Structure 1
Amino acid sequence: MDLKLFFNPIDESLSDKSFKADSLIQSVYLNEEKLPDILNIDIAIIGIKENNGYSTITDTGVRFIRKKLYSLKRSNSSTEIVDLGNLRSGPSREETYKRLKAVCQYLMHKQILPIIIGGSHDIDLGQFLAYEEDDKLISICNVDSHFDMDNQTELPSENHIHTMINHNPNFLFNYSHLGYQSYFVSPTISKIFKQLNFSTYRIGEMREDFKKVEPVIRESDMLSFDISAIQKAYTPAGNKSDVFGLTGEEACQIMWYAGLNDKLSSVGIYEYNPEKDTNDHQSAQVIAVMIWYFIEGFNNRKGEKGFQTNDYMKYVVTMDNEPDAITFYKSRLSDKWWMEVPNLNNKSIYERNTIVPCDHNDYNLALNGEIPDRWIKVFSKHS
């Protein structure tokens, strides 16, 4: 694939000569006059110019985010980052999805993680479709104050999750939703998600113990983040920002967990509207710091794979009824937990979903004779 056919270079004002010597931009390969070689690259940043479900011609929003991001300090990590520039929009919305799909698919097959910034939330359909031909089932984590399941609207950013869940062929194993607010959500949709054994978490639930969202994020292949899930005080430029929502710190914590996830292979941050931002571009600053935390998490990935190695301790908990026992694994590297769920289908597409992330509380529940809810949801999808 010739990537330069898909991208416009970044704005000239973002030259590395405009930033301090210890800023992040000094360690990023930029698509300026010539697209950099992506050999040995770990992360690729992709700017999107589409907004509000319709095409626009300005790249103002992503330029503000880049300026804030690249002024942050770089770390001493060996992570190689390239900024590919802004994706050239297609003549139609669907064509833009296809272009993003092709680019993300190409990058992920080369073990390069795309970070998509800008555009309305339905752009994540292109991100999602990049997994379509991988012959595996994937899990998605979506952060949003709304469910975006309104199939009566013509606005793509308000029905993209409905499109995703109903896509044919179906390669979606699990969908998790973080940060929704009940007064924005239809009880009917909540019931549908429950019937599908999808996991949804209100902000109040998350705040009872924020660490419990870490296994949810660790299960995911793809993260889609609508910044409207963050309080308006932090991100006034979210297209649907509200007084209530996540704090900026909580948004960064989610991105840190996502960065640490060895399984996660793409990230999108959407719904930034520069026309709603403050004069000093406060929302762009929050997004920039979120990306910075993701990169720091990525820098600290442990490569936790292969549960039969000495890197893991194995615990088998005997149960009184079905199942006879539940097997848990604890990493010696990070102290994180996983549990094994039987695959009654014996289909290869389920193999990567038979050992699922959990936490110490799930292990304690099993010790007390209770089957963890997480185990039940996964088992129901296998059986």
Structure 2
Amino acid sequence: MAKSRLKGFQVAVLASAALFGTGMVVAQAPAPASVHGHANDPAGLPLKNTVVEFAKDHSGDFKNIKWVYKFTTDDNGDYKGTDIAPGDYFIALAQGDKSIDFVESSKFVAGQDLQVNFDLTRKEYIDKMTPEEKAQLEAYKKNAGAANEANKVIANLNATLKTVRADLAAAAPHHDDVSKDVTSMKSAVDAKPDEGLLWITYGETLQAQGDHLAAADRAAGKVPTSDDDVMKNYTDAAAAFKKGADLMAASKKPVPADEAVAYNSIGNTLAKAGKIEDAQAAYENAVKLDPTKAGMFYGNEAAVLFNTNQMKPALAAAEKAIAADPTRADPYFIKGQALIGDATVDPKTQKPTAPPGCIEAYQKYLELAPDGRSAATVKEILAGFDVKIDTKYKAGKK
């Protein structure tokens, strides 16, 4: 009987132990580790899109190794990886099925972020290269160095272009001094003389500086075309635009529309310099290169001729501008002004009579630009001919 009671006591104790055991701490899996690093080639340049592989066992042929983790470097040669189980790993840097470099043993501890770099410029790596590989490396470093320098130049030029364009936009309303930008762009074309865009921008700075000096001359009662500095800026600007146009034409993929813009700029600049015939030739070249913008180019030609009081050629250019693009207002005004000089007076009524097409040109101008800069002049002229002004004309949406 005593033995039986002892057995029952042991069962009760075991049951009690099982009951208390439900509150005990259960062991958890170790936290994963992580890795980050950088890889560069023997020339010191980033190795991008290169695989960093982890293996527990690296015996046998490289192609047959069982890789447990793989991470890829980015464009900067950097990589990172997470969720790596703690342990000792063989880590290889590979491209395709070829190992470039490796780390024999890297121990990862739970929760640790380990840095593993692959620097192929190290002496130990270079020493293992064959003479042919070393020769190739030196050639590669030379070419890569030249490419890096070229990239630096381009980056600097892009920064210069951005600054100069901002300066030109800010200076335009008041014809401010942009001599510093002229200097900047001269350095730019000296640094890369085969880039058409740089020459075009250089031309823009010279033209803007010419405008600044010309504005000062007019304020002082001086004729700008008699100022050698003004003329030099305009002449140099036209030459820079022409250089840019020629480079664009000689490029692998020439864009005639861009060349046309350059010739339009040549025309505008030469006109300011008083070289009207040369300006006309530039506008005609612009039309040939980009007929889709003939209305603008012929309109500029008409304005240049009109401003120099050459009415017959101005009328011809205005007619061409209207034919190419009948939606532009200014050519109609120039046409009207070029014709108004031929107005006559009726001997019986003593009323003025406008030549054919004159009144219609003025009316079309008001239709297209009711609030244009010449609208007041046009209204006054029409009133002098007893022409009723159509009040339906309204300013277009801006």
TM-score bin (small chain): under 0.3
Higher relative contact order (CA 8 A, sep 6+): 1
**Structure with higher strand content:** 1
**Structure with higher helix content:** 2
Q: Normalized against structure 1, the TM-score is what?
A: 0.26
Q: Normalized against structure 2, the TM-score is what?
A: 0.25
